[in-house]
Structure 1
Amino acid sequence: MAITIKHHIPGRVRFSLAVLKQYRDLEDWIKQSLIAIQGIKQVRVNSHAGSIAIEYDAQILTEETIKQRVAALDFEQGEAKETEHQYTRGDVAMNAIGTLAAVLLPSRWGAMTTATLIAPTLIEGVNELKDKRLSVEVLDAIAVGLSAWRGDYSTAMMTQSLISFGEYMEQRTSRNSDQLLAELMQPAETMVWKLNDNQSVQVHSSSLIEGDLIELKPGDAIPIDGTIIKGAALINQSALTGENVPVRREEDAVIYSGTSVHEGNILVRVDKVGSEATTAKIAQLIYDSLSSKSEIQQVTQDMANRRVKITLGIGAAVFALTQDVNRLASVFLVDYSCALKLSTPVTFKSIMYRAAQNGILLKGGSAIEKLGQIDTCVFDKTGTLTYGDMQVTDVVPLDGTNDARGLLAIAASVEEHSNHPLSQAIVNAAQDNQLPHIAHGEVEYIIAHGLKSTLNQHCLNMGSRHFLEEHENVDFSPFEAEIKALEQQGRHLIFIAHQKRLIGMIGLRDQLREDVVDTLSQLRASGIKQLIMISGDSQYKAQMLGDELALDKVYAQATPESKSRIIEQLKQAGHKVMFVGDGVNDAPALTQADVGIAMQNGTELARQAADVVLLKDQLYAVAEARTLANIAMKLINSNIKLTEYINSGIMLAAALGWLTPATSALLHNGTTIGILARSLAAKHAK
């Protein structure tokens, strides 16, 4: 593919691609594919001219790197979508000047400028008719063309100016939203274990370079493109392939940025980093979020298309009865379709923009609409209602072979290989007490249960009582009194067994988030009928917290599978369910729920599965998301009513001959812009 750089200054480059002229329906696909690259700020594609103009961060990218990424696009695989004309401030200004010319200049000169400026609108309307579609473009073409045919160039240009201004506002909102969402959807930088001289060192993923070796474990987001050197794992590639079933990847297999490790431990060689890693995930997520239509958006689209036929029918009837061309022009200049069709997507994008500024990523209009319908909210406990960083409160040796410091050192040495919040709490406690690292064997992570390793060449297990008792046959009966005493204090217990014998337990305390009570109160005020908690804790401990927070229902001793079943049961009972979670174990429930919300510190898998991602570590953002959804739906419904009432009044006045074409155009287009302005104002409302 021949690509040349036609113009370049640091931060902006324009490419010439003659091949673009053969792919005139791929402009949206090209934009979303390129804007997904880290460092690219804005993309403008002109397939007619065969050019792509790109604004970028010169500290991250070079023009040659961007050229390589453009060259890598496979246009044959692109998703074709009919591309509309992209209005600019220049278009709006030119039409405004044309309106003044039509008013001030002699008729002959006014005719020339008007014919030139309205030509694109007329051509678009004719093309729609050729394709046998009765759309708003047809109405615009008839209205503008009829005014010009009558010699009323000022009305024709006023209508053209208002059309271009409305389109420009809608497209500008879309561009701003696209850019902001592209920045927010970049893979989050993470901490990874890098292998240095056979020693594992935790480093920031942004510091990785080609050739580095990193260790990845269950729940880890994959921040690079690389090759597996050792081990095997189940990799969740749903963001790239759309397939939710994890796939097995072994030695020599390539893995990609944006995917996640579901099960297994692997050693990976870094092949590509940063903006050179695959961007398919981000591009697809942006494309899906911005192009998917919600139910109400589809309804307003259908309603708008029907109103075009109604306007044409009323106009024909008025002309048949009155033979008055002025009345006909006045009626045709009244169009329900613009406001109905444009205000809904503009409202959604305005709310998405506003939410993102408040640290909430809403994945499209469909997510907003469903969020407004929710009547039941289900919370995972750990990391959601409570902080993920729990505190160690008790270290209890049970067999006399270790004191408390020795037991904590053993536990921390193994738990440092897991990213689970409980593991991190134990590691933090050991670091605070400056405890030494204890040598042990390779660590195996058992999802939703615990960890397995070896100590002095004998099996070492730590995790839940269910895991040790049911799966590892550890006897708990001699220590029931000590266990019950800590459980009654509301402690979360991690048990440690060596050679199938219980040698100790560690008690941890949940820290309730400061904003829990306010969040739950606001959710009830927003119309949520049921507040439910799912926890892996015992029934006694879970119910203690449920009573403290006045929750409607509590499910205890939950597994990943049972979480998903609980959500399904609630939906079958007729409820619209929202689930809020953060862990790799929450992905099935996030997917099963009508709306899934992932916390900021959630795993990459949870963030992929969710409809809403919180970008700040505050639970109250859940209530904010619900409030914004309610605002969006209220605004959309009121816009529909306003459009119907006001335009019906204008059309009646036009049909009765009370309005001149110029007045009809001004009132109708003023109404459309006013309604769009209401939708745009939602971006910044307090």
Structure 2
Amino acid sequence: MDYQVIHSIAGRLRILVSRLASDSEYANNLKCSVESIAFVTNVRVNPLAKSLIVIYDKNQLKDSLILEQIISLIRDEQRLKLITQATKKQITNLPLESRSEINYLEKLGLPVLSLVLALLATPLFELTIPAFVVGGVILLSAVPLYQKAIHSLTEERHLTVNVLESMWVTLHTLQGELTAPALSILMNESSETLREMTASESHRSHLEFVDVSRLYWVERDGNKTEVALSDLQVGDCIIVSAGDRIPVDGKAIQGTALLDQQVLTGESQLISCEVGQIVYASTLLVRGQLFILAEKVGKNTKAGQAFQLIENAPVYDSRIADYAEEISNQAVLPAMCLGAGIFAFTGDVHRAIAPLQLDFGVGIGLSVPTAILSALQYAAKTGVYIRNGRALEMLAKVDTIVFDKTGTLTEVKGEIVGIEILAPEVNAEKILSLAASAEQFLHHPFAEAISGYVTTKNIKLEACESWDYQVGMGVKAKINQQEILVGKALFLQEAGVEIDVEKLQNQEGVIRNRSLVYVAKNGKLLGYIIYSNPVRKESATVIKILEKAGINTYMLTGDRHQVASAVAYKLGMSMGRVYASATPERKIEILQQLHEQGKVIAFVGEGLNDAAALGYADVSITLTGCSDVARSTADIVLLDNDLRSLNHAINLAKRTMEIVNQNIALVAIPNISVVLAGVLFSLNPVIAVIISNGSTILAELNGLRPLFDEERKDPEIDTSAGRSDEGMLGVGWRKRGKKILSNLPI
């Protein structure tokens, strides 16, 4: 295929593809397929110039990765057709309200017509239009309003502002005051349409994170063929090889493999899989090959159900809006009684109808969700997924944030930082070689850390004659007819290796957020490797900013006290706010204690053992790449895996709630004033409508402000935040010898 990259800058690509000029079907398929790539925001095809222009989110997608994906699509016409079919099928299967554009004619046609007729019938134009015709069109355009009123009376069984407004429109129309009700209906429908437009864009922004371009090998009727993810069916035999993720829930019917369930559970759990075993979608196949009989596909898989919990979560709920609506609804009956009383004493219909216009609950109910939805859409575009309005409101009130440690304040991937030799017959290189050889087929953090380290040091690996891995404990391998054990102290002790754990764990290296992995040969301890999950480079800066803003930070972790204290000290956290060796039940107890102190709590975690705490907190936050359980439980997901997104989300939440409060004032004050003016001074109903409904539209426009915010600007990483390792030596949480880590051979 003839192609050439003509222009490339961060966020934008222009590629010359000669076939675009002569093959319109190919051009359409290529455009559709490129659009399906996650984080691609715009695709244009210019057949005359033979060019493909791609705009993408440079903060989410690397230049090299997007170019690689596009070139692979340009070269593979068959794949283009499959992806295009899958994309069209997915769009077709979306709920109607999710994929349909707003029908402006249907929503606004009658209201506009009724207002035009009402204006033409005024003395200003002197057109002879029968009043019953204009009134009939007005009442017809009010049908949606009547339907809401009937629903509230028959289904909800209580009076709402929709009942009040229905009475106001009907009475004014019957009185011959045609312009005011027509204008009121049009402005109300315009307000709702404005909110629906915002909601539509918000939903579309979430769909951008779904990648439908993945293809899988499937064996059907004895033939192997590539099938798109959306076309996989129950009963298909799907072939999954090393490095691929399993796309379905099903049963292994052929082959053996080693599976990594980290994406599913949040923990690096490696399990062996044989014929007859049940496997789950999103599990990574590390080694081997499996033929899987699909039993559940798509949204019916465990992973799909977790994703649906996020997609189907309500986005409109807002405690403030609910509270305002409740107050407004409670005012319905008094307003009706007031109107009846005014008519009984004065006989003035205009003044009697005025209290029926007390509908600030509707205005708040429209403008507040507009502000919330605008903020949710802006958040998604800037790297933060916020589930709903309640989460946004609570985040603005948070005064305490509790962090998990591993994978949240620290990096998931570890690094080798030292080695201690305990047997004279070996050197550091030999210990590293044995450990890396035994771990070479594994993918947990230590295995990846040591594999990467020995590669940079050009240390040769040895062949394993056999090996057996115990999840979370260690690995036993046979190398050159020698039994090699690599793992935790308990794992080696159970195998009969003598280890003075108390003495070895008193080393300074352990205190500095270091963990020890022991290596033994034929029952004799050779030494130990020190590795670390380093703190995230932005963690100390985030903690400093939060504390400066008056938000207290805590750490809850299942890790031991020494490691937890070391991390907290380095990050500048208060040592009195660190809770180590915390089980999931203990985490809930601590959160309950903080709640009893009157604190509003956000919990930030990413693993399976954090799910209970995430569910209990006022606001639950997790990072992308976490377990499905955590993601389905969390209110907020930091999509760019950067804790500075947390500061961004809090600032956005506070600013949004300021806008919400402004909207409440913009709606409530004019509405109450209009009612008082109508009762006391018989205010012209047209003026009343303009003031009342105009304030609602003004509030909605104010609610759109988050959409026009500048691009997100994260604070620079503050190298002075936190504390130094040297200062850590003076912390008296445990007495130990001051062995200098830099002296360890490595």
TM-score in same-fold range (> 0.5): yes
Structure-2 change in CA distance of 1:332 and 1:534 (3 Å): closer
1:161 matched to 2:182? The reply is no
Structure-2 change in CA distance of 1:144 and 1:182 (3 Å): same
Q: What are the within-5 Å matches in structure 2 for residues 196-211 of structure 1?
A: 211=238
1:91 matched to 2:107? The reply is yes
Residue of 308, 313, 319 corresponding to 2:332: 308
Structure-2 change in CA distance of 1:189 and 1:61 (3 Å): closer
Structure-2 change in CA distance of 1:306 and 1:68 (3 Å): closer
Shift of 1:123: 6.1
Residue of 181, 196, 199 corresponding to 1:174: 199
CA distance in structure 2 between the aligned counterparts of 1:459 and 1:611, rounded to whole angstroms: 48
One-letter code of the match for 1:407? I
Structure 2 residue aligned with 1:283: 308
**Is residue 650–residue 667 contact of structure 1 (8 Å, CA) maintained in 2?**
yes
Query: Structure 1, residues 157-215: CA drift from partner, whole Å, max 9, x if none?
Result: 2111101101101112222222222333679999x9x9xxxxxxxxxx99x99632357
One-letter code of the match for 2:331? R
Structure-2 change in CA distance of 1:642 and 1:394 (3 Å): same
Q: What are the within-5 Å matches in structure 2 for residues 220-369 of structure 1?
A: 223-229=247-253, 252=276, 257=281, 269=292, 271=294, 279-290=304-315, 293-369=317-393
Structure-2 change in CA distance of 1:439 and 1:307 (3 Å): farther
1:103 matched to 2:119? The reply is yes
CA distance in structure 2 between the aligned counterparts of 1:627 and 1:443, rounded to whole angstroms: 50
Shift of 1:268: 6.2
CA distance in structure 1 between the aligned counterparts of 2:132 and 2:28, rounded to whole angstroms: 44
Shift of 1:532: 1.6
CA distance in structure 2 between the aligned counterparts of 1:124 and 1:152, rounded to whole angstroms: 18
One-letter code of the match for 2:175? R
1:411 matched to 2:435? The reply is yes
Structure 2 residue aligned with 1:484: 507
Residue of 359, 374, 378 corresponding to 2:398: 374
CA distance in structure 2 between the aligned counterparts of 1:482 and 1:234, rounded to whole angstroms: 30
Structure 2 residue aligned with 1:494: 517
Shift of 1:286: 1.7
One-letter code of the match for 2:539? V
Structure-2 change in CA distance of 1:392 and 1:612 (3 Å): same
Q: What are the within-5 Å matches in structure 2 for residues 101-180 of structure 1?
A: 101-104=117-120, 106-108=127-129, 112=133, 115-116=136-137, 118-122=139-143, 124-125=145-146, 128-129=149-150, 131=154, 132-180=157-205
**Is residue 249–residue 297 contact of structure 2 (8 Å, CA) maintained in 1?**
no
1:514 matched to 2:541? The reply is no
Residue of 545, 552, 557 corresponding to 2:567: 545
Residue of 213, 217, 220 corresponding to 2:240: 213
CA distance in structure 2 between the aligned counterparts of 1:238 and 1:433, rounded to whole angstroms: 33
Structure 2 residue aligned with 1:661: 685
**Is residue 321–residue 364 contact of structure 2 (8 Å, CA) maintained in 1?**
no
TM-score (norm 2): 0.68
CA distance in structure 2 between the aligned counterparts of 1:250 and 1:139, rounded to whole angstroms: 67
Structure-2 change in CA distance of 1:504 and 1:533 (3 Å): same
- Partner SS, residue 708 of structure 2: coil
- Partner SS, residue 455 of structure 2: helix
**Is residue 362–residue 368 contact of structure 1 (8 Å, CA) maintained in 2?**
yes
**Is residue 535–residue 542 contact of structure 1 (8 Å, CA) maintained in 2?**
yes
**Is residue 186–residue 282 contact of structure 1 (8 Å, CA) maintained in 2?**
no
One-letter code of the match for 1:649? S
CA distance in structure 1 between the aligned counterparts of 2:400 and 2:540, rounded to whole angstroms: 17
**Is residue 454–residue 460 contact of structure 1 (8 Å, CA) maintained in 2?**
yes
One-letter code of the match for 2:553? L
Question: How many residues in Structure 1 have an aligned counterpart in Structure 2?
Answer: 598
Query: Structure 1, residues 43-63: CA drift from partner, whole Å, max 9, x if none?
Result: xxxxxxxxxxxxxx9873428
Shift of 1:119: 1.0
Structure-2 change in CA distance of 1:684 and 1:665 (3 Å): same
Shift of 1:235: 8.8
Q: Which runs of 5+ in 1 are unaligned?
A: 1-8, 12-35, 42-56, 76-80, 195-204, 240-248
CA distance in structure 2 between the aligned counterparts of 1:588 and 1:562, rounded to whole angstroms: 10
CA distance in structure 2 between the aligned counterparts of 1:560 and 1:188, rounded to whole angstroms: 38
1:610 matched to 2:634? The reply is yes
Q: Which runs of 5+ in 2 are unaligned?
A: 1-26, 30-35, 42-79, 122-126, 219-228, 266-272, 711-746
- Partner SS, residue 431 of structure 1: helix
1:532 matched to 2:554? The reply is yes
Shift of 1:90: 5.7
CA distance in structure 1 between the aligned counterparts of 2:326 and 2:371, rounded to whole angstroms: 17
CA distance in structure 2 between the aligned counterparts of 1:377 and 1:555, rounded to whole angstroms: 13
RMSD: 4.7
One-letter code of the match for 1:327? R
Residue of 436, 444, 454 corresponding to 2:477: 454
Structure 2 residue aligned with 1:22: none
- Partner SS, residue 578 of structure 2: strand
**Is residue 114–residue 141 contact of structure 2 (8 Å, CA) maintained in 1?**
no
Structure-2 change in CA distance of 1:88 and 1:527 (3 Å): farther
TM-score (norm 1): 0.73
One-letter code of the match for 1:211? I
One-letter code of the match for 1:177? S
**Is residue 212–residue 270 contact of structure 1 (8 Å, CA) maintained in 2?**
no
Q: What are the within-5 Å matches in structure 2 for residues 11-30 of structure 1?
A: none
One-letter code of the match for 1:164? E
Shift of 1:418: 4.8
Structure-2 change in CA distance of 1:609 and 1:188 (3 Å): farther
- Partner SS, residue 361 of structure 1: strand
CA distance in structure 2 between the aligned counterparts of 1:593 and 1:623, rounded to whole angstroms: 18
Query: Structure 1, residues 562-606: CA drift from partner, whole Å, max 9, x if none?
Result: 555544554455543322223344334333433322122433343
One-letter code of the match for 1:128? A
Structure 2 residue aligned with 1:242: none
CA distance in structure 2 between the aligned counterparts of 1:69 and 1:225, rounded to whole angstroms: 24
One-letter code of the match for 1:620? R
Shift of 1:269: 2.1
**Is residue 37–residue 275 contact of structure 1 (8 Å, CA) maintained in 2?**
no
Residue of 449, 459, 474 corresponding to 1:425: 449
**Is residue 213–residue 270 contact of structure 1 (8 Å, CA) maintained in 2?**
no
Query: Structure 1, residues 344-367: CA drift from partner, whole Å, max 9, x if none?
Result: 333332222121111111122232
Shift of 1:270: 6.9
**Is residue 318–residue 369 contact of structure 2 (8 Å, CA) maintained in 1?**
no
Greater mean deviation of Cα atoms: 369-378 or 563-572: 563-572
CA distance in structure 1 between the aligned counterparts of 2:507 and 2:87, rounded to whole angstroms: 66
Query: Structure 1, residues 596-623: CA drift from partner, whole Å, max 9, x if none?
Result: 2212243334323322111002111112
- Partner SS, residue 602 of structure 2: strand
CA distance in structure 2 between the aligned counterparts of 1:391 and 1:133, rounded to whole angstroms: 63
- Partner SS, residue 208 of structure 2: helix
CA distance in structure 2 between the aligned counterparts of 1:68 and 1:517, rounded to whole angstroms: 44
Residue of 415, 425, 443 corresponding to 1:391: 415
**Is residue 214–residue 270 contact of structure 1 (8 Å, CA) maintained in 2?**
no
Query: Structure 1, residues 29-56: CA drift from partner, whole Å, max 9, x if none?
Result: xxxxxxx9999x9xxxxxxxxxxxxxxx
- Partner SS, residue 536 of structure 2: coil
